[in-house]
Structure 1
Amino acid sequence: MQRGATGDASNAHVGPTSGEPPHNVDAEQAVLGACMLNHQAVEKVRGTLDAGDFYRPAHETIWRAILALRAEEAPTDPIALTDHLQRAGDLSRVGGSSYLHTLVAAAPPSTDNADYYAQIVRLALRPSAGRWADRRAWVPRARRRHAHAAYPKRSARCQRAILCRSFQ
């Protein structure tokens, strides 16, 4: 099994037989790298992808940062993204500046194909979209609940009730 830049499996369309939701990390990296190299790629992709379409939380955070920079008409290159993510306190969470440069290195030779790679990311969700899309939507909520449980200010009963409500 191949490993991605941050050590996660990067196989395309990993899914129900592996216990992981369908995803394509290589396509995610290609989209983000292309968008860092050419802000016009962002405009082509923005209507296709939502932040929640990314499998890796780091990629979701990077995508949100790219969109925030474009909203300010700022550049989306690794230097601008590093600054933006550092000010937001997210730089280490996404793998640091070096990972942003890794994404640029992983970008396809032509950024003209960014919309094609975005479609691959979207279509990776579809093989069993209902079941896996719902589960992927649970991940951010589960992470927040896990963080709260690690530093409990509430009783276990209260934590359990909050957890149950967040997945309804």
Structure 2
Amino acid sequence: MTTTQRIISDFRGEWVALSNFAPIPVTIFSQLEGREVTYSTGEHAFNAAKTVNLAERAAILAAPTPGEAKRLGRRATLRPGWDEQIRYAAMRMVLEAKFTPGSRAGAVLLSTGDATLVEGNRWHDQHWGDCRCGRAACSRSGANWLGALLMARRAELRGTVL
């Protein structure tokens, strides 16, 4: 008998909590600022982590939407080593702060079961997700780092739930 692996590739509707744009506050202790900072969304937190420039971080924190936070993050002065390694640690930190044991977001992540999580998109993000826009440049599957890190966080949460 053949079984088909369930794939969740649309982080909207019942799965909106999986999106970094979801309106779920994320609180992270900032060593740079020496205090806890609560961001409106995971997108805000991730983009603030890109820079050590306090003015740029404050602007990202104050951004009225996750889309604006992302736009500001694209212009931010990247901290040394960001692309090589730090961005993955930053995303893990954001996901750990967002998907906590007993939280609504954590429950949504756990409810995905053993599904493969794919950050399907149409904005050409082949690094964090898998673009399905139809352009030749996006014809290969993306790296799907967000999906992989979400699945790793789900496994961690399973270890904390009895």
- TM more than 0.5: no
Higher radius of gyration, 1 or 2: 1
Give the structure with the larger helix fraction.
1
Give the TM-score taking structure 2 as reference length.
0.31
Flag the structure with higher strand content: 2
Whose relative contact order is higher, 1 or 2, with alpha carbons under 8 Å and at least 6 apart?
1
